[in-house]
Amino acid sequence: MFLPSLQSAAACLLAVLPVAYAETHKYDFDIGWVRANPDGEAERPVIGINGAWPIPMIDVTVGDRIVINAHNSLGNQSTSLHFHGLYQNGTNHMDGPGGVVQCGIEPGSTFTYNFTVEQPGMYWYHSHSHGQYPDGLRGPLIIRDPDFPYQDDVDEELVLTLSDWYHDEMDYLINELFMVKSNPSGAEPVPNNALMNDTINFKLPVKPNTTYRFNVVNVGAFAGQYLWIEGHTMRIVEVDGIYTESADAEMVYLSAAQRVSFLLTTKNETSQNFPIVISMDTIFPNASFVDELDPFDDMTLIPYDRMELLPEPDRIVQFDVMMDNLHDGMNYAFFNNITYVAAKVPTLYTALNAGEEATNPAIYGTYTHSTVLEKGEVVQIVLNNLDTGRHPFHLHGHAFQAVYRSEEDAGTFGDLNIKESGLSQIPMRRDTVVVWPTGNIVLRFRADNPGVWLFHCHIEWHIVSGLIATFIEAPLDLQKTISLPSNHFEVCKAGNVSTEGNAAGNTDDYLDLTGENHPPATLPPGFTPRGIVALVFSCVCGILGVAVVGWYGMSAPVEDTALQQGVLGNESSGDSPADQQCRDETTVTAASTSAGRA
Ligand SMILES: *[C@@H]1O[C@H](CO)[C@@H](O)[C@H](O)[C@H]1NC(C)=O
Ligand SMILES: *[C@@H]1O[C@H](CO)[C@@H](O)[C@H](O)[C@H]1NC(C)=O
Ligand SMILES: *[C@@H]1O[C@H](CO)[C@@H](O)[C@H](O)[C@H]1NC(C)=O
Ligand SMILES: *[C@@H]1O[C@H](CO)[C@@H](O)[C@H](O)[C@H]1NC(C)=O
Ligand SMILES: *[C@@H]1O[C@H](CO)[C@@H](O)[C@H](O)[C@H]1NC(C)=O
Ligand SMILES: *[C@@H]1O[C@H](CO)[C@@H](O)[C@H](O)[C@H]1NC(C)=O
Ligand SMILES: *[C@@H]1O[C@H](CO)[C@@H](O)[C@H](O)[C@H]1NC(C)=O
Ligand SMILES: *[C@@H]1O[C@H](CO)[C@@H](O)[C@H](O)[C@H]1NC(C)=O
Ligand SMILES: *[C@@H]1O[C@H](CO)[C@@H](O)[C@H](O)[C@H]1NC(C)=O
Ligand SMILES: [Cu+2]
Residue scoring higher pLDDT (413 or 365) = 365
Same domain? For 279 and 362 the reply is no
Per-residue pLDDT, 292? 63
Same domain? For 250 and 360 the reply is no
Same domain? For 186 and 302 the reply is yes
Could you tell me if residue 93 is inside a domain? yes
Q: Vertex 358, ends 354 and 363: CA angle to 5°? A: 85
Per-residue pLDDT, 327? 94
Q: What is the mean pLDDT of residues 532-560?
A: 28
Q: What is the mean pLDDT of residues 8-21?
A: 47
Q: How confident is the model at residue 412 (pLDDT cuts 50, 70, 90)?
A: low
**Ligand 3 centroid distance, CA of 202 (Å):** 10
Same domain? For 137 and 158 the reply is no
Same domain? For 360 and 221 the reply is no
Compute the mean pLDDT over every residue in the chain, rounded to the nearest whole number.
Answer: 84
**Ligand 2 centroid distance, CA of 61 (Å):** 18
Per-residue pLDDT, 271? 78
d(CA 499, CA 507): 10
341 lines ligand 6 (CB under 6 A): no
d(CA 74, CA 107): 6
Whose atoms come closest to the Cα of 285: which ligand?
A: 9
Query: Ligand 1: which of 169, 170, 174 to mutate, most ligand atoms within 8 Å of CB?
Result: 169
d(CA 300, CA 232): 21
Per-residue pLDDT, 280? 82
Peptide bond into 557 cis (omega under 30): yes
The least confident of 107-111, 427-431, 557-561 is 557-561
User: Is the model's pLDDT at 421 over the cut of 80?
Assistant: no
Q: Out of 306, 325, 344, pick the residue that ends a domain.
A: 306
User: Is the model's pLDDT at 596 over the cut of 80?
Assistant: no
Query: Ligand 7: which of 116, 305, 448, 477 to mutate, most ligand atoms within 8 Å of CB?
Result: 448
Q: pTM for the whole thing?
A: 0.86
d(CA 438, CA 251): 24
User: Is the model's pLDDT at 6 over the cut of 70?
Assistant: no
Closest-lying ligand 6 atom to the alpha carbon of residue 337: 1
Same domain? For 128 and 233 the reply is no
Shortest CA distance to 391 belongs to which of 227, 233, 186?
A: 186
Q: How confident is the model at residue 287 (pLDDT cuts 50, 70, 90)?
A: very low
Could you tell me if residue 375 is inside a domain? yes
Same domain? For 210 and 350 the reply is no
Atom 7 in ligand 4: residue holding the nearest Cα: 209
155 lines ligand 8 (CB under 6 A): no
Could you tell me if residue 335 is inside a domain? yes
Same domain? For 439 and 326 the reply is yes
Shortest CA distance to 113 belongs to which of 125, 131, 99?
A: 125
Closest-lying ligand 8 atom to the alpha carbon of residue 496: 1
Could you tell me if residue 8 is inside a domain? no
Q: What is the mean pLDDT of residues 191-209?
A: 92
Q: Please name every residue paired with 391 in a beta bridge, in sequence order, or none if there are none.
A: 435
Q: What is the mean pLDDT of residues 427-441?
A: 95
Per-residue pLDDT, 282? 57
The least confident of 48-57, 175-184, 228-237, 562-571 is 562-571
Q: Out of 270, 288, 306, pick the residue that ends a domain.
A: 306
Per-residue pLDDT, 591? 24
Closest-lying ligand 6 atom to the alpha carbon of residue 338: 13
Query: Ligand 5: which of 155, 268, 271, 559 to mutate, most ligand atoms within 8 Å of CB?
Result: 268
pLDDT tens digits for 488-540? 999 999 999 999 999 999 999 999 999 999 999 998 776 554 433 332 222 22
pLDDT tens digits for 292-301? 678 999 999 9
For a pLDDT cut of 70, what percent of the chain falls above it?
82
Per-residue pLDDT, 273? 82
Could you tell me if residue 102 is inside a domain? yes
Closest-lying ligand 4 atom to the alpha carbon of residue 268: 13
Per-residue pLDDT, 14? 45
Same domain? For 365 and 440 the reply is yes
User: Is the model's pLDDT at 555 over the cut of 50?
Assistant: no
Q: Which residues form ligand 9's pocket by a CB distance below 6 Å?
A: 285-286, 590, 592
Per-residue pLDDT, 281? 75
Per-residue pLDDT, 20? 56
d(CA 149, CA 160): 21
67 lines ligand 2 (CB under 6 A): yes
The least confident of 41-55, 483-497, 508-522, 555-569 is 555-569
Q: Which domain holds residue 584?
A: 529-597
Same domain? For 273 and 346 the reply is no
Q: What is the mean pLDDT of residues 475-484?
A: 97
Per-residue pLDDT, 21? 79
Q: What is the mean pLDDT of residues 326-348?
A: 97
Q: Out of 468, 494, 520, pick the residue that ends a domain.
A: 494
Residue scoring higher pLDDT (15 or 233) = 233
Atom 7 in ligand 1: residue holding the nearest Cα: 45
**Ligand 3 centroid distance, CA of 563 (Å):** 12
3-state secondary structure of 267: coil
594 lines ligand 4 (CB under 6 A): no
Q: Tell me the CATH number at 299.
A: 2.60.40.420
Same domain? For 533 and 584 the reply is yes
User: Is the model's pLDDT at 288 over the cut of 70?
Assistant: no
Per-residue pLDDT, 544? 21
Could you tell me if residue 16 is inside a domain? no
204 lines ligand 3 (CB under 6 A): yes
Q: Which runs of E-coded beta strand occur in 297-390? A: 315-325, 331-335, 370-373, 378-385
Atom 13 in ligand 1: residue holding the nearest Cα: 171
Q: How confident is the model at residue 419 (pLDDT cuts 50, 70, 90)?
A: confident
User: Is the model's pLDDT at 108 over the cut of 50?
Assistant: yes
Residue scoring higher pLDDT (347 or 10) = 347
Could you tell me if residue 263 is inside a domain? yes
Residue 478 near residue 93, CB atoms below 8 Å: no
User: Is the model's pLDDT at 581 over the cut of 90?
Assistant: no
Could you tell me if residue 566 is inside a domain? yes
Residue 470 near residue 363, CB atoms below 8 Å: no
Residue 78 near residue 129, CB atoms below 8 Å: yes
Q: How confident is the model at residue 10 (pLDDT cuts 50, 70, 90)?
A: very low
Q: What is the mean pLDDT of residues 256-278?
A: 90
Three-state SS for 475-525 is: HHHHHHHCCCCHHHHHHHHHCCCCCCCCCCCCCCCCCCCCCCCCCCCECCC
Same domain? For 27 and 126 the reply is yes
Count CB neighbours of 50 within 10 A.
16
Whose atoms come closest to the Cα of 105: which ligand?
A: 8
Structural domains counted in the chain = 4
Per-residue pLDDT, 413? 66
Count CB neighbours of 293 within 10 A.
15
Per-residue pLDDT, 529? 46
pLDDT tens digits for 127-180? 999 999 999 999 999 999 999 999 999 999 999 999 999 999 999 999 999 999
Which secondary structure element, helix H or strand E, spans residue 588, and what is its range? strand 588-589
**Ligand 8 centroid distance, CA of 430 (Å):** 41
